[in-house]
Amino acid sequence: MALYHFSVRNVSRGKGQMVVASAAYISGQRIFDSYYNKIHDYTSKSGVIFTEILTPEYVPERLTDRETLWNEVEHVERNNKAQLAYSFDIALQNELTLEENIRLAKEFCQEQFVARGMIVDLAVHEGKAENEEEPDNPHFHVLVPIRPFTEEGIWGNKQRREYILDEDGNRVKDAKGKDMFNAVSTTGWNDPELLKEWRRAWTEKVNGKFRECHMASRIDHRSYKEQGIDLIPTIHEGYEVRAMEKKGIKTVIGELNRAIRQFNQMFISLKESIQWMKTAYEEMKAELDRRQNPTLLESLQDYYDKKTQGRPPLPNFYAEMKQRGKNLSNLQEFAKSISYLQTHQIETMDDLQERIEELNGVVSVSKKEISEKRKQLKELENLEKMAEVIKTNQPLIDEYNHFYFQKRRERYYQQHKKEINYYRKCERELKQHLDKNGKVPTARWKREKEELQAGIEELKADNQPYQEELTFVKKVQSCADIARRDREMAEADTSGRLEEKREKQVKFPTFYTVQAKEILEENGKAEQQPLNQSEQNPEKKTSLLRKLDEKKKECAERDAKQQAVKKKRNYDMSL
């Protein structure tokens, strides 16, 4: 049965405790204590199966030595009542292997302690039970210096002072005239909320491993009251009862407590099993929903599987090689699609549509800028054309202006009306674009055209990768949509075939029976005429059978037409 135990205490010099001795005990080693000038030897201690010191990256290598680390901790603390280290005692699980337990302990220490800048002395104990009837107690110890080691390579401050101020902002004095203050931790490692977070994190890590191994066992960091579990409390045994039980003498209170513990364990196991079944149900439900609503990757896989598989055998070697090349191309497209989706973290069709809209926005902005530049370019080209018209038709206008008599001018105008009017129109337009000297700025227009053309080409080059990506993403979306439609059509086709099969099983025998009765009624002998009378008259029997066959044939033809109409309707609906 999975058990939860997570305790933490302070190793305090004021309580007569020595942190070097604690380190020697949890590691089962012989360590010299330079602060007290004595040796702590626990090499005879059995059950220590793994030890390691974990440190942040900036901690120097010398502190990975256990003796150096804890002697420094002892010497850096000068107060006779100094708190030296946090000592954790955390239960491991009998349901897991030794390697799995060690891996869990290391990962937990790395994620929760080292990541916060702590130096961790980790030791895993086997916890073999002396009595075979009792379960083993595997656990691990963690020693963490309370004083932080800074990135500057020195031991930092454990606390800082926050002075108490009055309403005017002045420091408040105590009875001895000293400033009153509150000692605030510089690390926050002693925060009760952080301890709750550690307890919860360890629970989630162990339960996650149980789920990974498909085990029903679970642990819970909450109290029985918080869990809503009403367990029977044990009876206080007292010193005498415990002494008798230790000697092997069974007592009434001891037997009762053993029965209570056994019942409580059964009750907890039952609650855990129920919780496991609820969790398994939710996971199976989620898996079923996932299969009914395939992901984007699954839809793409269905599309390319259908594209490369299930093809009829090809007639010759050349065609087969050509098909193999297409299959390879499809495989490369599929790999490219998967790589793109993973790179951009696209998991659903909504994510894909969002990416398409994003690319559309970028492409549309570039296209708008290109369109504006092309419009400006066209205006410059029109101005150049009008300037060319002015230059070409200038002799004609000069001759027109040379005529003095009105009639001759009018006759000349009628002969060249189109050219003169167009010249005047171009002249009016160009007046707005002449330079300061009243001349046509042809050179400037040419320069502006070149700049606009270069800008268009640059925008095209910048826009091309986005345009290609947009085309590719739209193709991926199209493939996924095709796969989903095919899946829906296949499901609808399957249900339609089942319905059609049921109709055939029920409809046709009943239909033929009704038609046979109608034929008999037409002859006036459906129910009154006995069978032997029809046998006595072979001509009537032959006529009756012939009519029955004709009716069957007519019904079969009618049914075939109905089925053809039905198939055509289903095909039209699918389109």
DSSP for 353-398, written as a single string: HHHHHHHHHHHHHHHHHHHHHHHHHHHHHHHHHHHHHHHHHHHHHH
529 pLDDT higher than 80 = no
Range of lowest pLDDT (66-80, 117-131, 217-231, 274-288): 217-231
Angstrom distance (rounded) from CA 112 to CA 99: 20
Two structure tokens written together for 545: 């059978």
Instruction: Mark 6-16 as b/e (b = at least 16 C-beta within 10 Å).
Output: beeeebebeee
Strands 83-91 and 139-145, by their bridges, are antiparallel
pLDDT at residue number 488: 67
Angstrom distance (rounded) from CA 28 to CA 509: 88
Which amino acid, residue 314?
L
DSSP 327: H
DSSP 150: P
Which residues have CB under 8 Å from 490's CB, separation 6+? none
| Percent of the chain surpassing pLDDT 70 | 76
pLDDT at residue number 11: 94
Highest mean pLDDT among 56-60, 473-477, 529-533: 56-60
Which amino acid, residue 426?
C
pLDDT at residue number 113: 94
Q: Which residue has the higher pLDDT, 125 or 525?
A: 125
Element (H, E) at 84: strand 83-91
Two structure tokens written together for 240: 């005498």
Range of lowest pLDDT (109-118, 170-179, 297-306): 297-306
Quickly state the pLDDT bin for 527 (edges 50, 70, 90): very low
Contact 52, 125 (CB under 8 A): no
- Based on its alpha-carbon atoms, the radius of gyration of the chain, rounded to whole angstroms, reads 47
CB atoms within 10 A of CB 483: 22
533 pLDDT higher than 50 = no
Range of lowest pLDDT (297-301, 303-307, 478-482, 536-540): 536-540
DSSP 165: B
Give me the long-range contacts of 223-232 (CB less than 8 A, separation at least 24).
227/271, 229/267, 229/268, 229/271, 231/264, 231/267, 231/268, 232/260, 232/263, 232/264
DSSP 14: G
Range of lowest pLDDT (171-175, 269-273, 305-309): 305-309
274 pLDDT higher than 90 = no
Element (H, E) at 301: helix 296-308
Quickly state the pLDDT bin for 326 (edges 50, 70, 90): low
Range of lowest pLDDT (32-46, 244-258, 438-452, 528-542): 528-542
CB atoms within 10 A of CB 265: 13
Name the 3-class secondary structure at 9.
strand
pLDDT at residue number 520: 47
Angstrom distance (rounded) from CA 454 to CA 441: 20
Concatenate the DSSP letters of all residues of 433-473 into one string.
T--TTSS--HHHHHHHHHHHHHHHHHHHHHHHHHHHHHHHH
Quickly state the pLDDT bin for 387 (edges 50, 70, 90): confident
Contact 288, 467 (CB under 8 A): no
- 208-238: pLDDT as tens digits: 999 998 888 888 888 767 777 677 767 766 6
pLDDT at residue number 511: 42
Query: What pairs with residue 9 in β-bridges?
Result: 87
Q: Which residue has the higher pLDDT, 164 or 495?
A: 164
Q: Which residue has the higher pLDDT, 121 or 301?
A: 121
48 pLDDT higher than 80 = yes
Q: Which residue has the higher pLDDT, 6 or 476?
A: 6
Quickly state the pLDDT bin for 526 (edges 50, 70, 90): very low
Two structure tokens written together for 106: 């290391």
Per-residue pLDDT, averaged over 318-328, amounts to 49
pLDDT at residue number 575: 47
pLDDT at residue number 496: 57
Quickly state the pLDDT bin for 321 (edges 50, 70, 90): very low
- 88-101: pLDDT as tens digits: 999 999 999 999 99
Angle made by CA atoms 418, 431, 416, in degrees to the nearest 5 = 15
202 pLDDT higher than 90 = yes
Range of lowest pLDDT (68-72, 410-414, 499-503, 527-531): 527-531
Among 92, 109, 10, residue whose Cα is nearest residue 49: 92
324 pLDDT higher than 60 = no
163 pLDDT higher than 70 = yes
Task: Give residue 556's Cα distance to chain centre.
Answer: 57
Quickly state the pLDDT bin for 62 (edges 50, 70, 90): very high
Task: Give residue 408's Cα distance to chain centre.
Answer: 89
Name the 3-class secondary structure at 120.
strand
CA distances to 69, 72, 149 from 152, rounded to whole Å, are 17, 16, 8
pLDDT at residue number 237: 66
Two structure tokens written together for 376: 């400006």
Q: What is the mean pLDDT of the chain?
A: 79
Place of tokens 């105590």: 174
105 pLDDT higher than 90 = yes
- 374-383: pLDDT as tens digits: 888 898 888 8
pLDDT at residue number 305: 67
Q: DSSP alpha helices (H): ranges in 523-537? A: 531-536
Name the 3-class secondary structure at 214.
coil
